[in-house]
Chain A
Amino acid sequence: DPTSLGLGLDEEVKVTKQRRPNPKLDEARLLSQPGIPKLRRTAKQKLRFKGKGHEFQDAERLLNFYQLWLDDLFPRAKFADGLAIIEKLGHTKRIQTMRKEWIEEEKPKPFYDRTNTE
């Protein structure tokens, strides 16, 4: 009797199908290459403002730039929703240190600063 051997041949094998996890817009995604690094890389070439007299077109250009970037990064979210998610992520420790770093990068060096102002 095969069942008495305890091989468990007759027991039904349960196949639990793992649900595919939904993609999330989280810190990792935001800091990955198509995330903020790309934003910083492309902004310089993409964002050219016309300046005085074209304020509203400039704003449109700016908003479109971010919308397309966000659509690449996290296609399922609407622009406003995506912005809200990112804004919330901005309160986390990791992103905050990164933000500080990015700002530090562009700051003039203290020494240089002093000579510059005088």
Chain B
Amino acid sequence: EVTSVGQDVQVIDPDVRMHVYSLVTALGGFNGADADRYMLGDDALSCLRDIRRWLKLYDQRNNRMDVVRCLGEANLVMGDILPILSIWWNNGQNSKHLTRVALACLELLVPLTWPAEYHSQMTANHHRHTPYIQQIQVQYKRGVLRYGGSNLLRAVIRIALPSMAIPRSERESRDEGILKLMLYFLRNVAIITTNERLAAEGDEEETSRSATINAFQDQDAFALILTMCSNVAEDFNQQDIVLLEILFHIIKGVNVDKLFLNEDERKAQRSDELSQLLKKENQVKREYAKNAPTRHGRFGTMIWVKRDEHKVSTVSGQNILRDDQASLQKMDESKKWKRPGRTRRNKDETVQYNDFNTPVHLSLLATKNLRTFVEEFLDSGFNPLFTHVRKAIEREAERVSAINARQFFYTVGWFLEAERARRARQAIQRKRDGKNTKDVEPDSFGLVASVLNQETFISLNRGMQSSLDNKEWDDLTAQMRCFTQILLTVQEMTFSPLEEDQEIADNIQNRIFYEETTHDRVLSIVRGYKDQGFGYLDAATELSHVFLRMLERYSKTNADLQIRSKRRAKKRKKGEAAQSAGQEDGEGEAENEEDVNSEDEDLIDSAQVSKERAFDFKRFAAKFCNQSCVNTFVEFTSFYRELNSEQLKRAHRYFYRIAFKQEMTTLLFRLDIISLFHRMIKGPGAMESSKPIYKEWEELVRQILRRLTKKIDQRPALITELLFSKMNSTIYYLEFGHERQTMSTA
């Protein structure tokens, strides 16, 4: 059925609209004589309650969003709720009635600001209203952060303070409810952002993360969060998950390194940034100028490219005169056809508010405010909160939802990184102050100890495995980041001047590296990259890089590192073979009998065959030496123009390992890889040659190319093999020129 779009089209039932509008009107308004004063209606409290009833009984019960939208169109929040809260804050806190009205306002604000997300169970009604609601929520947020001169966040916190002051044992469910309302309100404010797909109306700056952070700092929301986090075990044990959510939405996407630069460094970096950007732009211009036509656009140059068998291709344009390379490139560029079947999966809309891969830029003031908060949080709130949250997630408490685990791991990883950045900065500071390092008592890692225990490792390992199995890539990305940060923190602990820290670090490393399943998981994560997006790619390559380097160092210093490996299938086959042969020795018989007798065969089986064996790093590193791992890193490297030095270094080390430590250059001898390497150094669109990492890459690529030309001369079969991924059966021959002498029996 087609309806023409016009004024007559009703998206909401007119009756509903009428009822809601009359309630909003009866709530109160600005007085005619005293136009800037808000006058509360006679029955305001009942009006607010009625509106709430509408939300509950119409919207929620029928799974619609009509009333929410109606209230948005009626301008309830900006026109009534915020003025009422402002009145209460300014001169109504002693009035019992006004306080109740303010609380009723908060009760409406929470559902109205509740993030409208895209999800899988959306009705046509949801699709119709969600964009409008997302847009109006941004306006709500702007109003809340800056309503006239009032501190509305502070007002909301004030509403909940009496309930906070009551000890938990004496708190009633109403008080708990108020606390919940207040925290969810803060969370909603933290979440709401302008939707990049909808037309912005100049709200970006006023509702940005920086604005949120500054408001949280100015209006003591940070102080409140800190208090609650550090007392989460005693007084606020129902609020742990909401607190986690607030933290997550405040810090997601923030660059830790930038956060911990001090004032001078930041200034220096900013001016550096500017000069670097100018330089970069200059370089782009120069590169263009090199190829730019020197005559006018209609100068009409055309050349023939002579080819075999008396064939020629024609190419036009002046820039092709420069060299052969340019004309060949132009030939390629002028082709219009695109390879079919490479459609990009459109980005999942459901992650909009939980996306942590998009970087966020903070203003100077916001950086300072956030850093103060982060440091205070690390000092007081980190251990209590994260211990509590982990337990709640493991217990699958009722207040925990599926998204919280991801938020937990991401937030833990982020704060661990922040702690390391802070320590690094402190070390520099001390050196600069000229104090002898021995005079200063070194800090222990106790401040972050709560996530460096066996329980966390177990839940992290379990989480990673299930995310990997269930293909939940965003979860896995968060867990990988967390794991990487734990590894890096432990590594730093090993260099601690405190002997106790070293011992603990040693112990932790032993525990992390003890399970072979962990090793295999890292491997299969790297191998399993396919279309999961850059965030996953970055996290996976970083994890493998850090994991391999730490494991290498650790297995060097602990030559007798034992790992526990589980070999189920093999043992079983052996058992079966023995059975069929009919002659078992005593041990085999016992095993078999147990196998047969046990009700849960698998369990017994796996328990039986897990055994310890000495760890061989070389063998493990060789597992990363295969085509799918190479493909993952090639994919990562193909973003070289956007990667920073640390990321480029990571890729460089990997390819160096492949080519020169594992002697498997053949894996890199594929034309797309060669072409990528060549382009990185020689262009078009090469890396910036002024960076130090460029030199390292140039040398690596040069070495690889030299080997390539040598190998082609030695083994002409490479001419065809360059086109393909190598086959396992022939790769050894291609690399070494002879077959493997000893067949491994394992």
What is the interface of chain A, defined by CB distance below 8 A to chain B? 36, 39-40, 42-44, 47, 49, 51-52, 55-56, 58-60, 62-64, 66-68, 71-72, 75-81, 83-87, 90-91, 95-96, 99-100, 102-103, 105-107, 113, 117
Contact = CB atoms under 8 A, between A and B. Distances in A.
B709 A106 contact: no
Given A84-B672, A87-B672, A56 B678 contact: yes
A43 B716 contact: yes
Given A43-B719, A63-B671, A76-B335, A56 B738 contact: no
Given A55-B705, A90-B724, 17 more contacts: A56-B702, A58-B709, A59-B674, A59-B705, A60-B325, A63-B674, A63-B678, A64-B328, A66-B671, A66-B723, A67-B332, A99-B720, A99-B721, A102-B720, A103-B730, A103-B733, A117-B738
10 contacts: A44-B716, A55-B709, A60-B325, A62-B712, A66-B671, A68-B308, A72-B308, A87-B672, A87-B723, A106-B715
Contact of B725 (A58, A62, A87): A87
A79 B313 CA distance: 16
Contacts of A68: 307-308, 328
Contact of B706 (A52, A62, A75): A52
B contacts with A: majority SS: helix
B713 interface: yes
Interface residues of B, number: 48
B740 interface: no
Given A59-B674, A64-B328, A102 B717 contact: yes
A118 B584 CA distance: 46
B675 interface: yes
Contacts of A102: 717, 720
Given A55-B705, A56-B705, A59-B705, A36 B720 contact: yes
Interface string B302-326: 0000011001010000000000110
A51 B730 contact: no
A85 B723 CA distance: 10
Nearest to A117: B738
A106 B705 CA distance: 22
A45 B19 CA distance: 87
Contact of A83 (B671, B705, B729): B671
B720 A39 contact: yes
Given A56-B678, A59-B674, A40 B720 contact: yes
A91 B716 CA distance: 21
Contact of B734 (A67, A85, A103): A103
A91 B738 CA distance: 24
Contacts of A76: 335, 337
A contacts with B: majority SS: helix
A59 B702 CA distance: 10
B331 interface: yes
Given A39-B719, A103-B733, A49 B712 contact: yes
A102 B325 CA distance: 31
A40 B717 CA distance: 8
Interface in B320-358: 324-325, 328, 331-333, 335, 337-339
A77 B337 CA distance: 6
A78 B414 CA distance: 42
A71 B729 contact: no
A51 B715 CA distance: 15
Contacts of B712: 47, 49, 62
A99 B709 contact: no
B724 A103 contact: no
A105 B717 contact: yes
Given A51-B709, A56-B681, A103-B730, A81 B720 contact: no
Contact of A86 (B311, B338, B717, B723): B723
A68 B722 CA distance: 15
B548 to A, nearest CB: 27
Contact of B674 (A36, A62, A71): A62
Contacts of A62: 674, 708-709, 712
Contact of B335 (A78, A91, A105): A78
B511 interface: no
Interface in B250-284: none
B564 interface: no
A86 to B, nearest CB: 5
Interface centre among B324, B677, B709 (most CB of A within 10 A): B709
A100 B709 contact: no
Nearest to B717: A103
Contacts of B717: 102-103, 105-106
B286 interface: no
A82 B708 CA distance: 21
Q: Which 6 A-B pairs have the closest CB atoms?
A: A90-B724, A81-B339, A55-B705, A49-B709, A76-B337, A103-B717
A87 B674 CA distance: 14
B670 interface: yes
Contacts of A56: 678, 681-682, 702, 705
A83 B332 contact: no
A85 B324 CA distance: 25
B727 A96 contact: yes
B494 to A, nearest CB: 40
B738 A59 contact: no
A91 B729 CA distance: 13
Contact of B332 (A59, A60, A79): A79
Contacts of A117: 738
A99 B727 contact: yes
Contacts of A90: 723-725
A94 B332 CA distance: 29
Contacts of B720: 36, 39-40, 99, 102
A2 B723 CA distance: 65
B671 A64 contact: no
Nearest to B710: A51
B260 to A, nearest CB: 40
